[in-house]
Amino acid sequence: MTDQQDLTPDSFLKDENEKNPGSYDELHRKCKELFPVCFEGAKGMVQKPLSQRFQISHSMSISQAATGYRLGATYVGTKLTGPGEAFPVLLGIWICLEILLGLLYIKLGDIG
């Protein structure tokens, strides 16, 4: 004996509902769960005062645009020009991306 299929209209609707995965919003949400979480980048900074006048800073960044390492050193002199102003100020930054760059800023006194 062979199995006979139910050919009533209700059986077709029942089969269609079983094959329907859901609404568009529900499908979109389920598909988004499959994608990995995007990572745009990270940056870490450490600053350490070695004395009252000398400070070292390190920073490292990881991203698609500019991944690299920076080392900075700052020295503030003992001569005061005003409240909160001292000179000489020496500031050096070494940037290591794909090449090594060095910058040095020196402030020796008031520039009119």
Instruction: Give residue-wise pLDDT tens across range 60-80.
Output: 998 877 778 888 888 888 887
72 lies in some domain: yes
> Residue 99 belongs to what domain range?
41-107
20 lies in some domain: no
26 lies in some domain: no
Would you say 44 and 69 are in contact if contact means Cβ atoms under 8 Å apart?
A: no
The mean pLDDT of 69-92, rounded to a whole number, is 82
Quote the pTM value: 0.51
29 lies in some domain: no
Residue 64 pLDDT: 79
Mean of pLDDT over the chain: 77
Query: Which has more confidence, 34 or 111?
Result: 34
pLDDT at residue 99 above 60?
yes
Task: Report angle CA 18, 24, 28 to the nearest 5 degrees.
Answer: 110
52 lies in some domain: yes
Residues 23, 28: Cα–Cα separation, whole Å: 9
Number of structural domains found in the chain: 1
102 lies in some domain: yes
Smallest CA-to-CA distance from 73 within 31, 105, 42 is with 105
100 lies in some domain: yes
81 lies in some domain: yes
Would you say 93 and 72 are in contact if contact means Cβ atoms under 8 Å apart?
A: yes
